[in-house]
Amino acid sequence: MAGKVAIVTGASSGIGYATAKLFAHEGGKLIVAARRRSELDALVAEINALGGEAIAADGDVCDERFAKTLVDLAVNRFGGLDVAFNNAGTLGAMGATPDIPLEGWMDTLNTNLTSAFLGAKYQLPAMVARGGGSLIFTSSFVGHTVGFPGVAAYAASKAGLVGLTQSLAVEFGARGIRVNALLPGGTDTPMGATFASTPEARAFIEGLYAMKRLAKPEEIAQSALYLASDASSFTTGSALLVDGGVSINRS
């Protein structure tokens, strides 16, 4: 990541927080984005204390103006954009599908899928101007290899990211831009704790995985680093499972 400029959304906690720290440790210059300013400021302070460079921007990824602001920051403060990790997301409206209100459905799709489109809309031209780059979306194994009841909006939005990934990879591959989706398994984050809220629930969920455990955010960050870096120079249009074997486990 040395010399590369990256945007990381959903950076106030979990996978985004860990990835921003790792990108900075590897020499990247960061624009970190989320809604919670105090958490972003703490992240920036931590990165700067270790000799990295980062700028915080708080806002709503569903706001098109905010998507443009993040790219403008990268260009004006660091000279361009090389990497975008569109990681912000939500579990959204959950429960029996007939009981999900339209508003809950739309909010989930807007946060998980439309925000990714808005990010890419402004990130791609900046990467073209730079001569290439890496665009990454955080999708999920849910809705791709595994179905769960009660999460229809989440599954549909995350599956949509894989389709967006494939389309953009074809559209921009000849211009030096790689587009990939990262599909984490259950991760020990505040969002993950929604499901693993009791010792019994956590034990059940861990049992679904071939590795019989959840991921640490830092483990998912390592795969994001692979997709962001030149180590994945011939990888595009992929749905990269980093799911501890939950997609193939039957034991």
Asked whether residue 248 is domain-assigned, the answer is no
Residue 123 near residue 64, CB atoms below 8 Å: no
Instruction: Note down pLDDT in tens along the chain; length 251 residues.
Output: 999 999 999 999 999 999 999 999 999 999 999 999 999 999 999 999 999 999 999 999 999 999 999 999 999 999 999 999 999 999 999 999 999 999 999 999 999 999 999 999 999 999 999 999 999 999 999 999 999 999 999 999 999 999 999 999 999 999 999 999 999 999 988 777 777 778 888 899 999 999 999 999 999 999 999 999 999 999 999 999 999 999 999 98
Please say whether the beta carbons of 215 and 188 come within 8 A.
Answer: yes
249 is a domain residue: no
Element counts in the chain: helices (H) and strands (E): 8, 7
- Catalytic (active site) residue 154: yes
Give the angle subtended at the CA of 90 by the CAs of 169 and 134, to the nearest 5°.
25
| pLDDT score for 197 | 75
Whether residue 20 lies inside any domain: the answer is: yes
Please give the DSSP secondary-structure letter assigned to residue 61: T
Report how far residue 107's alpha carbon sits from residue 90's, in angstroms, rounded to the nearest whole number: 9
CATH number, domain of 215, equals 3.40.50.720
Q: Is residue 118 part of a domain?
A: yes
**Looking at the domain assignment, is residue 197 inside a domain?**
yes
pTM score, two decimals?
0.95
228 inside domain: yes
Number of domains in the chain: 1
Q: Is residue 251 part of a domain?
A: no
* Residue 247 within a domain: no
How far is the C-alpha of 77 from the C-alpha of 73, rounded, in Å?
6
d(CA 112, CA 159): 10
Structural domain span for residue 146: 5-242
Query: Kind and range of the H or E element at 184?
Result: strand 177-184
Q: Which of 17, 122, 154, 209 is catalytic?
A: 154
Question: How far is Cα 140 from Cα 154, in angstroms, rounded to an integer?
Answer: 9
Query: If DSSP codes are grouped into helix, strand and coil, which group holds residue 177?
Result: strand
The DSSP output letter for 36 is: -
